[in-house]
Structure 1
Amino acid sequence: MSSDGRPRRGDPGRPRGWVTWPGGRRPRHPTAPRRPLLSAAVSSWLRLALVLGALAALGVFAGVPVLVVVLALIVIVILHELGHYLTARWAGMKVSEFYVGFGPRLWSVRRGETTYGVKAILAGAYVRILGMNNLEQVDPVEESRTYRSKPYWRRMSVAVAGSAVHFLLAILLLWVLYSAVGYHGFDRPDITETPRWQVARVVPESPADGMGLLPGDRITAVDGRDVVNFGDLRGALADLANRPASVTVVRDGETIQLHGIIGVAARDGVSGFLGVGPELAPPSRANPLAGLGRSLSDFGFVVRASAEGIGGLFSLQGLDGLLGPLVDFERDEVATGEVGSGDANRVVSVVGVAQIGGSLAQEDVAALLAFLAYINVFFGVLNMFPLLPLDGGHVVIATYERLRSFGGRQYRADVAKMLPAAYLFVILLVTVGLVALSRDIVDPLNLPG
């Protein structure tokens, strides 16, 4: 303290907030908080730009066909959630969030009562609807806008909306495929059958390639059994898996004999496989009405096949069973020729799906559209599996509550009792997904480039 009793800077008796100036005391101005270098809005836009940059890098390093398939998968998932979102809004339910991806938030914007945004892991999407089960605590003021408070038919419409979008997309893709592009169909392509049937293509590294078969060769016999057309060839090969055989061909007017071991078809692991493709009749475009009829017919076929093979998830065996005509004929039976038995039975992740789709997209537009139609049907059927957290689980709960409600009293299912099964199912899906993802990265699928 100074001789006149006035506190100086640093004196313990000096009042806080004051400093000694030559002209007297002046109040100290509090230090203003430092501004962040980037505002939150700019930072979120930069994070979103990084994601877009990562997608662009994917196109550069993995190829444009793979990027197209990845973007198509993202759009498919968004449309699935958009179906839930629109029906929930129509049903009078409150939707608080609509996010693409999971994990840390990259970018978001609030419009009305809903926050829309993008998260770091673009492996899905979700909408958050108020009161999806009886465990969620909700403000009594908003209880009337919850999912659980709505009539049965409104809850059902929300639960099935996602799969309905997938099915409509599949039918639309098939209709475009038949009416605008031209496609043989999912049953079997039209093979050119003539007395002078000849080989159109030979699968690289297949038994036929090892024997020395060439495009243009006319196969007349297999192990002494006459072959007139491609159907005869299939019959002759059926019982020759893993057995040595002779193939008689006519090449440039000269009859020659080729020898080798017949392979095994990956589809069933029993039938013989040679690795040649027949000559196909060019696909024809159908008129819009006929194209719609074929679309509905093939849609039913793919739904039945997906339901039967749902346990296989995205195994190549399941893809081969549904896309057999596409893969076997339009791509020289590549799926049964170049994919080993281990690949044929393995479950693939989104990386493998993108690789398969990218490989098909390199062929033509028809192959890509058929693949996306199949993916939509598969997603739609899978989401109807009757377990939480899938849409089918909500359908089962809503139906069960409807059946147990009588006399004007609303029955509420005890969701807590269902959680162990739901957790087990989620753990199973995540485990299978992570194993498949790691394998697809470390040991990529053996598909032709």
Structure 2
Amino acid sequence: MYPLLMTLGIVLFAAAILASIGLHELGHMIPAKAFGGKVTQYFIGFGPTVWSTQRGETEYGIKAIPLGGYVKIVGMLPPEAADLAEEVTVDAAGNTVTKIRKSNTGMFTQLISDARAAEWELIGPEDSDRLFYKLPWWKKVIVMAGGPTVNLLIAFFVFWAMFATYGNPSRDATEPDAGVPVLASVSDCVIPYEEGRLTCNDDDPVSPAVLAGLEAGDTITTFNGVPVTDWDQFRTLIRSNGDGEVVLGYERDGVALSGTTNTTVELRPNGPDDETLTAVGFLGVTPTSHQQTGGPIYTLTQMRQMTIDTAQALVHLPVKVWGVAKAIVGAQERDPESPVSIVGGSRISGEIVAEESFNLTEKIVFFGGLIAGFNFFIGMFNFIPLLPLDGGHIASALWEAVRRGFARLRGRPDPGHVDPAKLLPIAYVVASGLLVLSVVLIVGDLVVPLHISG
């Protein structure tokens, strides 16, 4: 039964991601057509075409590699009048065809020329008023922002549904109103944080929490006689205790108990948003999450923090992926907080659906959170202001608005449209980097996969 449920989870995840990709591309195509642009292709996937159909001037289809999608909007790159010669010819069917030709030297110069030529190969005079680069800057922004915005909206509505019904399963138990700390787990040993290990070695010391007799499910009531009211207070008391003695009061199955131990001094991060390591008191316990329900405003506040966390994660993404690469070759264990690819997400989805300890509601919530999380990250990632990402095109459109605005204010001639083709060398470098990151994560998810059980 487990293999069947595992397969079902993988299929459900793949279907949800493909649906998200399709909606992302609709977010580009619908406003592009609404503004009069010409969209010739709408495809989910890359590589060889599996299926396609022509509807009007747009070809809709599916390609073999389901790792993305695209829409072809005509006229993304403008002609460069100073460098390009326009040649109008008539093909065998009597159709007028506009081609761009150029003689170049230099690798990047030739790449730009080839990209521009490919862009204009099938553009005819009748398309002159429908070219994307001629749209007002704000229309360009709407078209290019439409895709990632759809991903963020998917994340918002899925999170809202979860928070409004089940509650927030990942709510930080250190929040002041989270209530008295109930232990989710007790560490068997003390593992140096910088080693990133998940399992104990024979030479690792027993954790102070085990020596105190604590177990998962215990409710902490006092710390050296001080009543404990929430996890944040409890954490502060532990960290400030150094290697001193501590008498812990706790309840287990309604029975009041106590235990004595000594906290140990370990290097630990200052907090969830600060990875700086500081020598502090360490006990070896993890709190249970405190679920809170909420509506759209609560969802927005949670997504605001997610935005901050995701921005920080994007900054550290290359380092995290490098850690995955080292885990692949056995240089270290894989960090459980490391990023995963779609392959890793599908595995986790399969494990969620197949896990016997989860009831149906928990499976739906965890699966929904996984899909919402992927969509949120995809949306945020695509807003990075670098080509070939959507954010790069948005940045170009905004720069065009600024440049033309300054020209008007100073009474100078209109500088014209911004030419994204000049940034193609950057786009190629970024695309190459993204390809490397993707390959490392996919290989990592196959060789050293993450599991929901840790």
Q: Same fold (TM over 0.5)?
A: yes
1:309 is matched with 313
Distance 1:244 1:85, change over 3 A: farther
Residues 320-377 of structure 1: per-residue CA shift (max 9 Å, x gap): xxxxxxxxxxxxxxxxxxxx97415644322233345556676523344344333333
Counterparts of 1:347 and 1:192 in 2: how far apart (Å)?
28
Alignment map for 1:43-442 (pairs within 5 Å) = 60=4, 62-134=6-78, 135=116, 136-137=119-120, 138-183=123-168, 186=171, 193=179, 198-199=182-183, 201-202=185-186, 207=207, 213-219=214-220, 228-229=228-229, 230-238=231-239, 248=248, 252-253=255-256, 255-257=258-260, 268=275, 270=278, 272=282, 274-278=284-288, 280=290, 283-284=292-293, 286=294, 291-313=295-317, 342-344=334-336, 346-356=338-348, 364=362, 365-405=364-404, 409=414, 411-442=416-447
Cα distance in 2 between the residues matched to 1:374 and 1:312: 18
Q: Is residue 263–residue 273 contact of structure 1 (8 Å, CA) maintained in 2?
A: no
Q: Retained in 2: the 8 A contact 1:401–1:413?
A: yes
Tell me the matched-pair count.
360
| Change in 2 beyond 3 A, CA 1:112/1:245 | farther
Distance 1:166 1:313, change over 3 A: farther
Distance in 1, matches of 2:311 and 2:340, equals 18
CA deviation map 1:253-283 (0-9, x unaligned):
5544468978876864556462333474x64
Specify the alignment match of 2:92 in structure 1.
none
Q: Specify whether residues 410 and 316 from structure 1 end up closer, same or farther in structure 2 by C-alpha distance, changes over 3 A only.
A: closer
- The letter for the 1-side match of 2:45 is G
CA distance in 1, matches of 2:38, 2:317: 33
SS at match of 1:127: strand
Aligned-partner Cα distance in 1 for 2:150–2:436: 28
Q: Percent identity?
A: 28
For 1:384 and 1:279, the matched residues in 2 are separated by: 31
In structure 1, how many angstroms separate the alpha carbons of the residues matched to 2:435 and 2:425?
A: 15
CA distance in structure 1 between the partners assigned to 2:11 and 2:265 by the alignment: 37
Superposed displacement of residue 185, structure 1? 7.3
Aligned-pair CA distance for 1:192: 6.0
Question: Counterparts of 1:292 and 1:198 in 2: how far apart (Å)?
Answer: 28
**Quick one: distance in 2 between partners of 1:292 and 1:161?**
21
Q: Which has the higher strand share?
A: 2
**1:400-449 CA deviation, whole Å, 9 max, x = no partner?**
23334457846133434311111111111111111121122111125407
Deviation at 1:68, TM superposition (A): 2.9
Equivalent-residue separation in structure 1 for 2:3 and 2:125 (angstroms): 49
Aligned-residue CA RMSD (Å): 3.8
Cα distance in 2 for residues equivalent to 1:70 and 1:246: 50
- Partners in 2 of 1:314 and 1:351 — Cα distance? 19
Q: Give TM-score, length-normalised by structure 1.
A: 0.67
8 A contact 1:217–1:249 mirrored in 2 = no
Change (3 A) 1:262 1:442: farther
Give the drift of 1:383: 0.9
Other structure's SS at 1:297 match: helix
How far apart are the structure 2 equivalents of 1:179 and 1:342? 34
- C-alpha distance in 2, partners of 1:113/1:374? 35
Could you say what secondary structure the match of 1:163 adopts? Answer: helix
Question: What one-letter code is carried by the residue in structure 2 that aligns with 1:129?
Answer: I
CA contact (8 A) 1:343 1:446 kept: no
> Is the Cα contact below 8 Å between 2:44 and 2:61 reproduced in 1?
yes
For 1:190 and 1:366, how far apart are their aligned partners in 2?
Answer: 25
Following superposition, the deviation at residue 67 of structure 1 comes to 3.5
Does the CA-based 8 Å contact 1:209-1:275 persist in structure 2?
yes
User: Could you tell me how far apart the structure 1 residues matched to 2:320 and 2:171 are?
Assistant: 16
Asked if structure 2 preserves the Cα contact closer than 8 Å seen for 1:249 and 1:257, the reply is no
- Provide the rounded CA distance (Å) in 2 between the counterparts of 1:378 and 1:412: 31
Q: Deviations over 1:211-237 (max 9, x none)?
A: 563244354677x68563433431244
1:105 is displaced (CA, Å) by: 1.4
Query: Who wins on radius of gyration, i.e. which is larger?
Result: 1
Opposite residue 310 of structure 1, the aligned amino acid is: L
| Letter of the structure 1 residue corresponding to residue 392 of structure 2 | G
Q: 1:198 to 1:294 in 2, by over 3 A?
A: closer
CA change 1:413–1:255 in 2 (3 A) is closer
TM-score (norm 2): 0.66
Q: Which residue of 2 aligns with 1:48?
A: none
> Counterpart amino acid of 1:82?
L
Mean CA deviation greater in 181-190 or 388-397: 181-190
